[in-house]
Amino acid sequence: MRLDKYLKVSRLIKRRTIANEACDAGKISVNDKVARASYEVKIGDIIEIKLAKTVKVKVLNIAEVVRKETANDLFEIL
């Protein structure tokens, strides 16, 4: 799954366009490397989001469609 879509589905970022712009601006890194929106997210990746505040999460699961209540099961905050 693309990084921008994963950020939207997991509800780490509200909209996919905002996730895409954050990737283009270099504010999203995966495994300590700046990542593009087209990066293929894998289980075990460490994603760091530097927007209003810095959030670091570990990818636990990948799913195309997730309900709001279960979105937190996709990642673990580090």
Domain extent listing, the chain = 3-77
DSSP secondary structure, 51-63, as one string: SSSEEEEEE----
pLDDT digits (tens, 9 = 90+) for 7-42: 999 999 999 999 999 999 999 999 999 999 999 999
For the chain, where are the alpha helices, taking DSSP H only?
A: 3-9, 16-24
pLDDT digits (tens, 9 = 90+) for 50-77: 998 999 999 999 999 999 999 999 999 9
Collect all residues with Cβ–Cβ distance below 8 Å to 33 and sequence separation of at least 6: none
Q: Give me the CATH code for the 3-77 domain, please.
A: 3.10.290.10
Residue of 54, 53, 46 whose CA lies nearest to 30: 46
- The whole-number pLDDT of residue 37 equals 94
CA atoms within 13 A on the CB side of 18: 12
Confidence of residue 1 (pLDDT cuts 50, 70, 90): very high
Does the global pTM surpass 0.85? Answer: yes
